[in-house]
Amino acid sequence: MLHDLRGLCVWPDAVRGRVVKCVSGLTFSLITSQATERVRVVRFRVLGERFDVQVDGVSVEVRDPGARDLLCVLALRDGARVDAAELDALFGERAGAVVEAAGAALPDAVRPADRDGCRLDLGPDGYVDLHEFRDLAGRARAVRSDDASASLADYRAALDLWTGRPPRDVPASVRDPLLAELRRVREEIADMQLAAARPFAVIDDVRHWLACDPGHDRLRAVLGKALARAGRPGSDAVATGRAAPARIYDYFLGGKDNYAVDRDAAREILAAVPAAADAARANRAFVRRAVRYMAGEGGIGQFLDVGAGLPTRGNVHEIARAERPGARVVYVDNDPVVLTHGRAILEDSAHVAVVSGDLRDPDAIWRRRRLRELIDPAEPVGVLLCGVLHFLSDAEDPFALVERLTAGLPPGSLVAVTHAWFGDLEPGAADRALAVYRRSTAEVRPRTPDEIARFLTGFAPVEPGLVAVTDWRPDTATDRVGCVLGAVGRRV
Ligand SMILES: C[S@@+](CC[C@H](N)C(=O)[O-])C[C@H]1O[C@@H](n2cnc3c(N)ncnc32)[C@H](O)[C@@H]1O
């Protein structure tokens, strides 16, 4: 039997333990009666509401509710045996039938254990999200006192694996310890943020977590402390800290996810540039039209929205799915408030994920597991870089970052960009607005049309090219807003 192993980067594992003879170049002969032609990869998602098993990327339908329970238990057991007594306690006289149904669903993975029990054998490539959760949480704990930001990043990545509320599929005997692990991570994040004098981050996180898990009493106490430290026990009257672009933008759009400090900054910007709120609304309207175009005429079924911002009316997944049911969307942002609010609103869809990520590290964005679950980089992707690139300074080499983010996109992929251009503004007005952003968590670097067009290098502009966002395929005649330019480009 001849196997061409080109492209199989795991070939040494794939052929390990078998007699292998090199015939020529990269072609091998596997001399074995039971050579496996492909490596079967079994993946379990047990964190969050949705229990899902996939073999080689295809979901396995497990109809028998007992078998689903058993598969959950086996996945949570980390390969250890579930013995006959436990099977009896869980399934009573149905135990035998349940084991059989689970075995039928995953014939190679559910194995009989030594005496009347069973265990799960996923092999070296198998994946259970709980294991990754534990690894990340363990790593976060290990570096907590030395590197708080690395620790927080790992904690957040661990939480990213949870797709919503505590699992319903899992029997209580295993669900409760799992919940305890989730609660511990949440408490540790809140404690760290409180210790770092970030009460607003704690308030946002904890409110959301309590909405998902009202029984988490210890967090209520932490929330009380955070509110007291923020100077607003029970009210939103006073805010301190720095304004954040996501919340300033939310204010311009008429949203409610902003604090007094953001509203003050927004009013200052409006005093300098009265068109600022119109520009925000025009930018958002462009995003909606661009997504509609991408999902419709552009044929895009998967979207990556970097610098996604706070949820608003007409979110990207809503527009995309109205056009193309089943479209998948991954929202990426580096603002923890955006992530928390995003998850609160979007968490219940299996086709949508909100992940933390920074445009300054495109490789890390592509490495996010949730992203890789939802986005197949071999298929055309719709990438949105709207209202975010002007938060990258020249020193960060934003052109190289965008090139890196989009490097692997196949032909047919589309990229939408919007960017601040202050060429039409009075110099004094632009300077006053920029000064407000300088005091916020991120500075703005407006760019010229030529500079903005450079972000689309390697993409052919879709008609009408780079224009004021209000001029890009408008639905109705709208007053022109010139200070934000937008374009969509197609990879050819
Ligand atoms: C003005 S909002 C734009 C929201 C949305 N894309 C839109 O156009 O309607 C900018 C968003 O970019 C995010 N952001 C800023 N710098 C970022 C970075 N380096 N990486 C990821 N997100 C970033 C902010 O947190 C904010 O949510």
Confirm or reject: Cβ of 358 under 6 Å from ligand 1: yes
What is the mean predicted confidence (pLDDT) over 149-167? 81
Q: Is pLDDT above 70 for 7?
A: no
pTM of the complete model: 0.64
**What is the pLDDT at residue 110?**
87
- H or E segment at 487? strand 484-491
SS3 content of the chain, % helix, strand, coil (to 5): 45, 15, 40
Residue 188 Cα to ligand 1 middle (Å): 27
Residue 309 Cα to ligand 1 middle (Å): 5
Position 461 confidence tier, pLDDT thresholds 50, 70, 90: very high
CATH of the domain spanning 41-196: 1.10.10.10
Query: Which string of b and e fits 320-340 if b means at least 16 CB within 10 Å?
Result: bbebbeebbbbbbbbbbbbbb
Residue 314 Cα to ligand 1 middle (Å): 17
Task: Among 343, 359, 391, name the best residue to mutate to test ligand 1's pocket (greatest count of ligand atoms within 8 A of Cβ).
Answer: 391
Residue 44 phi/psi, 5-degree rounding, is -115, 130
Q: Is pLDDT above 60 for 464?
A: yes
Confirm or reject: Cβ of 246 under 6 Å from ligand 1: yes
What is the mean predicted confidence (pLDDT) over 282-309? 97
Q: Is pLDDT above 90 for 455?
A: yes
Position 33 confidence tier, pLDDT thresholds 50, 70, 90: very low
Confirm or reject: Cβ of 360 under 6 Å from ligand 1: yes
Domain ranges of the chain: 2-31, 41-196, 197-238, 271-491
Position 30 confidence tier, pLDDT thresholds 50, 70, 90: very low
Confirm or reject: Cβ of 387 under 6 Å from ligand 1: yes
Tell me how far apart the terminal alpha carbons of the chain are, to the nearest angstrom.
Answer: 39
* Nearest-atom index, ligand 1, CA of 310: 27
Confirm or reject: Cβ of 386 under 6 Å from ligand 1: yes
Token pair, residue 310, equals: 């706070």
**What is the pLDDT at residue 138?**
96
Residue 249 Cα to ligand 1 middle (Å): 9
Question: DSSP secondary structure string, 270-307?
Answer: HHH-TTHHHHHHHHHHHHHHHHHHHHTTT---EEEEET
Q: Is pLDDT above 70 for 420?
A: yes
Q: Strand 118-120 vs strand 110-112: parallel, antiparallel, or unpaired?
A: antiparallel
**What is the pLDDT at residue 166?**
60
Q: Is pLDDT above 50 for 6?
A: no
* Nearest-atom index, ligand 1, CA of 283: 8
What is the mean predicted confidence (pLDDT) over 155-165? 80
Most confident region among 121-125, 220-224, 434-438 by mean pLDDT = 434-438
Taking Cα atoms as reference points, which of 296, 287, 492 lies closest to residue 409?
A: 492
- Distance set, CA 200 to CA 85, 151, 239, 270 (Å): 49, 19, 9, 25
Position 164 confidence tier, pLDDT thresholds 50, 70, 90: low
Q: Give tens-digit pLDDT for 207-240.
A: 778 877 778 889 988 888 888 887 654 333 333 4
Q: Is pLDDT above 50 for 206?
A: yes
Task: Among 253, 333, 341, 417, name the best residue to mutate to test ligand 1's pocket (greatest count of ligand atoms within 8 A of Cβ).
Answer: 333
**What is the pLDDT at residue 169?**
62
Q: Is the peptide bond before 464 cis (omega within 30 degrees of 0)?
A: yes
Confirm or reject: Cβ of 333 under 6 Å from ligand 1: yes
* Nearest-atom index, ligand 1, CA of 249: 1
Residue 105 Cα to ligand 1 middle (Å): 43
Question: DSSP secondary structure string, 445-470?
Answer: ----HHHHHHTTTTEEEPTT-SEEGG
Higher pLDDT among residues 313 and 104, named by residue: 104
Confirm or reject: Cβ of 388 under 6 Å from ligand 1: yes
Q: Strand 484-491 vs strand 414-420: parallel, antiparallel, or unpaired?
A: antiparallel
Token pair, residue 213, equals: 């898990």
Confirm or reject: Cβ of 442 under 6 Å from ligand 1: yes
Q: Give tens-digit pLDDT for 467-483.
A: 999 999 999 888 888 89
Position 115 confidence tier, pLDDT thresholds 50, 70, 90: low
Residue 225 Cα to ligand 1 middle (Å): 30
Residue 325 Cα to ligand 1 middle (Å): 26
Residue 386 Cα to ligand 1 middle (Å): 7
Count Cβ atoms within 10 A of the Cβ of residue 101 and give its class: 0-12 exposed, 13-18 middle, 19 or more buried. buried
Position 458 confidence tier, pLDDT thresholds 50, 70, 90: very high
Higher pLDDT among residues 57 and 157, named by residue: 157
Q: Is pLDDT above 80 for 18?
A: no
Residue 431 Cα to ligand 1 middle (Å): 21
Residue 232 phi/psi, 5-degree rounding, is -140, 60
Confirm or reject: Cβ of 359 under 6 Å from ligand 1: yes
CATH architecture of 271-491: 3-Layer(aba) Sandwich (3.40)
Token pair, residue 435, equals: 């000064």
Confirm or reject: Cβ of 309 under 6 Å from ligand 1: yes
Residue 442 Cα to ligand 1 middle (Å): 10
